[in-house]
Amino acid sequence: DAGVTQSPTHLIKTRGQQVTLRCSPKSGHDTVSWYQQALGQGPQFIFQYYEEEERQRGNFPDRFSGHQFPNYSSELNVNALLLGDSALYLCASSFWGVGYTFGSGTRLTVV
Amino acid sequence: AQSVTQLGSHVSVSEGALVLLRCNYSSSVPPYLFWYVQYPNQGLQLLLKYTTGATLVKGINGFEAEFKKSETSFHLTKPSAHMSDAAEYFCAVSAYSGAGSYQLTFGKGTKLSVIP
């Protein structure tokens, strides 16, 4: 049984560019949450998707947007990248808030 | 809204000594509580979780945690530290926020160093 799969594992982007990160949830999970983890910090909640809609959102600007597909997979899009967006982006899938499974993350470096 | 406070951003213990990592939470509704471990350049691995029932929860690698509602605490312990326990540990709380929605909120983490 595959867990949560994130792609790509690493990428480097230039300031001002746009990036799309992808996440496939664990089988049986219908909710996907995205987190940003800056170096030396705890993960910060970006937003959560359920039934293809954004259900909750953390304190992140509109440059951060997402999407969930009918198969529950999800994308995180970040526009107009800033140096401060450099971080590890984690995807977690869950079912009813009890069993969160995390992917290995995507390491984004903005130069 | 919920929040998590981890006391001590860095804890050092000798190999074989007791590990105690502290976590206090704030939640207006009954929470689910979690401890995760993160090794360098890796994602988060679940150590243990409290949902309902027994307040002393046993996890992987010999770790356990006790939910104390009166103290709003969920401290993580291990009787004897091993070199392989050196990592960053995150306490997290998940609480129901309405309309079938839960949100998982993390503390800032505690980096555990094990001294040979």
**Predicted local confidence at residue A97, as pLDDT:** 63
The span from the first CA to the last CA of chain A, in angstroms, equals 37
**Predicted local confidence at residue B29, as pLDDT:** 76
Identify which of B32, B101, B103 has the shortest CB distance to residue A98. B32
Determine contact, residues B36/B44, Cβ cutoff 8 Å. Answer: yes
Whether residue B103 lies within 8 A of chain A, CB to CB, comes out as yes
Determine contact, residues A39/B40, Cβ cutoff 8 Å. Answer: no
**Predicted local confidence at residue B7, as pLDDT:** 93
Please name the residue of chain A whose CA is at the shortest distance from the CA of residue B6: A42
Give the E-state strand segments of chain A in sequence order.
5-7, 10-13, 19-24, 31-37, 44-50, 53-57, 64-68, 74-78, 87-94, 101-102, 106-110
**Beta carbons of B43 and A55 less than 8 Å apart:** no
pLDDT, tens only, B21-43: 999 999 877 789 999 999 988 88
**Beta carbons of B97 and A92 less than 8 Å apart:** no
Whether residue B61 lies within 8 A of chain A, CB to CB, comes out as no
Determine contact, residues B76/B57, Cβ cutoff 8 Å. Answer: no
Whether residue A68 lies within 8 A of chain B, CB to CB, comes out as no
Identify which of A94, A97, A103 has the shortest CB distance to residue B96. A97
**Predicted local confidence at residue A31, as pLDDT:** 92
Instruction: Please give, rounded to a whole number of angstroms, the shortest distance from the CA of A74 to a CA of chain B.
Output: 17
Of the listed ranges A50-59, A65-74, B15-24, the one predicted with least confidence:
A50-59
Rounded average pLDDT over B64-74? 94
Whether residue B90 lies within 8 A of chain A, CB to CB, comes out as yes
Of the listed ranges A72-76, B53-57, B64-68, B110-114, the one predicted with least confidence:
B53-57
Res. A41: pLDDT tops 70: yes
Q: What is the CA radius of gyration of chain B?
A: 14
Counting Cβ atoms within 10 Å, is residue A11 exposed (0-12), middle (13-18) or buried (19+)? middle
